[in-house]
Amino acid sequence: MRKQPLPAAALHYPATRRNREPIRNALANVLPPTGLVLEIASGSGEHAAFFAPAFPDLIWQPSDREPSLLASIQAHAAASGAANIRPPVLLDIDRSPWPVPAADAVIAINMLHVAPSSAGAALFAGAAAILPPRAPVFLYGPFKRAGRHTAASNEAFDRSLRAQDARWGVRDLDELAALAAGHGFLLDRVIDMPANNLGVVFRMGPWPEPGPGVSRTPHPA
């Protein structure tokens, strides 16, 4: 697959090049073999352009709430040469119904900590409306565990975020799991990722009652 030079519309976020391979490797154990993956807050579009060729049997649907980013997403998609990337759509998780009526997985990378705390509930409410049972929601970024930062660098990052916008900040995974449960999602696994980030997998219910000796507690990958 031959890549074309990127047009001027294509933006570049340095963090994307650093984290894209570890995220791809994590997604390989999370995503279904076929179906549609809705990416929330695609930003520059670099992740979609990298992931779609790696999962040729999946259809990738990028989205963002900022109209100004759609041209960059489209530019990266075209340059990737991948035939399984749909044109990006405007999607604000707070506005329902979402413009994508059905999906088989939802992913959001580095989104929740640069959004109001209400974004978690909005994300799971929207995902619950479009996902089938057992479908995954994959989140990537820094998170607190049991109310505590997992690294000093994350604590400093949290202070920096809140200084920029009081509504932002590193979210607590236990609080997020409680929000998810209210919309029918179970915390399935937590994956340690580079740079003190986590990959977090929730799966959509309904869930059958566990049999003897079966636990629903989350487990590391």
Per-residue pLDDT of the chain (221 residues; tens, 9 = 90+): 455 566 678 899 888 889 999 999 999 999 999 999 999 999 999 999 999 999 999 999 999 999 999 999 999 999 999 999 999 999 999 999 999 999 999 999 999 999 988 999 999 999 999 999 999 999 999 999 999 999 999 999 999 999 999 999 999 999 999 999 999 999 999 999 999 999 999 999 876 665 554 445 444 33
Instruction: Identify whether 206 is preceded by a cis peptide bond (ω within 30 of 0).
Output: yes
Burial of 133 (0-12, 13-18, 19+ CB in 10 A): exposed
* DSSP tag of 217: -
Which pLDDT score, from 0 to 100, does residue 206 have?
76
The domain spans of the chain are: 14-206
Backbone angles phi, psi at 49, to 5 degrees: -65, -25
25 and 13 in contact (C-beta within 8 Å)? no
Q: Which residues contact 195 (CB under 8 A, 6 or more apart)?
A: 18, 19, 153
Burial of 131 (0-12, 13-18, 19+ CB in 10 A): buried
140 and 23 in contact (C-beta within 8 Å)? yes
Written out in words, the top-level CATH class of the domain with range 14-206 is alpha beta
Q: Looking at the whole model, is its pTM more than 0.85?
A: yes
Which pLDDT score, from 0 to 100, does residue 4 have?
56
Angle (CA) 66 67 72, round 5°: 95
